[in-house]
Amino acid sequence: MAFNTKHGSVVCLLILGVLTTPTVSVYTLTDQGGLGARFDGVGGLSGGGATSRLLVSYPEPYRSQILDYLFKPNFGAALQILKVEIGGDAQSGVGSEPSHMHSAGDQNYTRGYEWWLMREAKKRNPSMRLYGLPWAFPGWVGGGEAFPYHRPETTASYIVNWILGAKTVHGLTIDYVGIWNERIHDVTYIKTLRKTLDDNDLGHVMIVAPDGGWVQISKDIMADSELAAAVDIIGAHYPGTHSPPMAQQTGKTLWSSEDYSTYNNGTGASCWARILNQNYVNGHMTSTIAWNLIASYYDDLPFPRAGLMTANQPWSGHYEVSDPIWVTAHTTHFTSPGWHYLKSVGHLDGGGSYVALTDGKGGLTIVIEAMSHKYSQCIRPLLPPYDVKSGQAATFRLGGSFENITRLHLWYSKLIGSQTEHFKSQDDVEVSGGMFSIEVEENCLYTLTTVKEDQPKTYPTSPAPAPFLLPYKANFDGPADSSEAPYFADQTGVFELYVNESSSDHGGTLRQNLTERPIVWCNDADSAISVIGDYNWSNVSVSCDVMVESGGGAFVAARVDRGGCDISQAKGVFFWLLEDDTYNWMLSTDLSRNHVLGQGKVNATIVGQWHTLTLFVKGDSVAGFLNGGNVLFDITDAQLPTKKGFAAIGTLGFQKVQFNNFAVDTSKL
């Protein structure tokens, strides 16, 4: 039967009392005979890569509001684990993140924004667990080999330095560390990492391996007692809610250390609701971590809005508290790491699943989901067909420590189209004789718990979305919470704010700092590039002062059509200034310079001198100016390959180049 509450008519139905019809299924929840596995928490992943890039540039109060929705206990998602990328100076999916050690003699623990993000998470929840994982490594780590395991002691020391820097510079205790994201693991390296951690009084740091698949690491652990002692947790990615028998036979804690990766609408939320329960029910996984934490990157980069929420307009202050935030709350508001699952968890007879957790002191939280196949498909892996009955009746019998519970607080969400309702408190459920019954509706999520909580407050709706307005100018002066310039999204290379003490006219600059190709995770370009702006920009001018420090070259660009792991294939309009004996300027329609529209020689010293590059693009017309007045090209029928895209700056290769007085405006051609 349906009924009304203080929140209005409920679509997800509840039946109080004990149902006596023959079709009712009865599920027993008890701690008699012991408990199940320790619950380790629900997490979000910032990285893989640069997925939180725009968040740090949000103005207050919106930035703090977003952080509260992610991390503040009993408010929004109330996440319990924050996993971050250990930046490796290379593209790792959506962008590149800077390393703490560009070279063997370099250590800087203020680069990037992950330090800031971890501090903000811990500020809101001091119990937050922190987890670091590399996707890529600086080139020097490999000692001439494009492989991080070539010198295991060097690589282990590099990772341990990051953990030590987190503590000494930021007061952050790292709890977990991984090996190499979704790449082959190396047994010798894992053992070396364990020894290096222990030698640096970091015995508390637990190793998660391999952050990829189940099979090989399980075989290796079963065959090698020293490796088994080194690895604390087997972490798999996108396991489809299942773990193989061999992984379970290792006796190791099992995690889905990266999962979800789905557009954050109702379908994405339903995917998340299903796997949060079924990763334990089917696969005995005690933690699930969402990639990604927050979609704080441009929509036209890969995997748009594949975060628990979206915040990708710092210029307007607009953000969206997406459906997965409230799905997460169904578990995190009423549990804590250290609780235990009951052994009596499982599937509903009519489809869906239930888990129950306890604090070991008589507290109980039950989460029930009935997500349909149609509306809960994650982006990966393929979800086998199944059916969910709507309106299936279920009776729960409480035993052991729970048999004297007389009422449970009830929360529900409905996750389908215009009927969507988020995390609503309903009237308490009366438990009579240790039993209660509910009617479970399709695409609904329920939490029944002994933990009392008021309906969480929310912030007023954020400002309306707005396009990235022109003109835009940046001179790279002033302090920042990140080493990177606001709104720029590095795709290859590392562009960092820099104080140029040798120039009074260019004191604050943006500098591309890599001088060696990193050990890459995907197909980085041979040229460093950072994109910015509105992908719909078409007829624009892009201008920037550049100074090539010691050879190579620099460019400004418009209509750049892509980022991420395909950045080496980027097309657009690229205006190059080069240190070359044959020609020192070039116009190309791709980053790899395979398609050249023009090139030539200008009488100017390139290295060590500041020059202003200005590119105008309108329709198929393009013009380029050097230092304000010297017209290097003016083509009226260029038949350009892209009609819109990002603006960008970059370098010919991995050379140090400084940029200043960047500007984008409507083209005056």
Active site residues: 182, 258
Nearest to 423 by CA among 411, 435, 407, 409: 411
Q: Are 391 and 439 in contact (CB under 8 A)?
A: yes
Nearest to 71 by CA among 123, 121, 126, 127: 121
Q: Are 352 and 369 in contact (CB under 8 A)?
A: yes
Q: Are 441 and 373 in contact (CB under 8 A)?
A: no
Nearest to 57 by CA among 320, 319, 324, 321: 319
**Beta bridge pairs of residue 448:** 366, 410
Cβ neighbours of 454 (radius 10 Å):
7
Q: Which residues are CB-neighbours of 398 under 8 A, at least 6 positions away?
A: 29, 30, 364, 405, 431, 434, 435, 436
Distance CA 109, CA 115 (A): 8
Distance CA 199, CA 202 (A): 7
- Where is 226: in which H helix or E strand? helix 225-230
β 129-134/176-177 pair status: parallel
Residue 403: strand, helix, or coil: coil
Q: Are 326 and 425 in contact (CB under 8 A)?
A: no
Tell me the DSSP string of 574-629.
EEEEE--SS-SEEEEEETT--SEEEEE--SS--BTSEEEEEEEEETTEEEEEETTT
Torsion angles phi and psi, residue 668, rounded to 5 = -100, 5
Q: CA separation (Å) from 662 to 78, 190, 306, 467?
A: 39, 45, 30, 19
Nearest to 190 by CA among 213, 215, 217: 217
Q: Which is it for the CA torsion 295, 297, 300, 303, positive or negative?
A: negative
**What per-residue string of b and e applies to 619-649 under the rule 16 or more CB within 10 Å gives b?**
eebbbbbbeeeeebbeeeebebebebbbbbb
Tell me the DSSP string of 472-514.
EEE---S--SSSSPTT-EEEES-EEEEE-TT-SSSSEEEEE--
Q: Are 342 and 31 in contact (CB under 8 A)?
A: yes
**Beta bridge pairs of residue 137:** 519
Cβ-in-10-Å burial (0-12, 13-18, 19+) of 349 comes to middle
- Where is 52: in which H helix or E strand? none
Q: Which is it for the CA torsion 567, 568, 573, 577, positive or negative?
A: positive
Q: Are 652 and 527 in contact (CB under 8 A)?
A: yes
Q: State the Cα torsion 269-270-276-277 to the nearest 10°.
A: 160
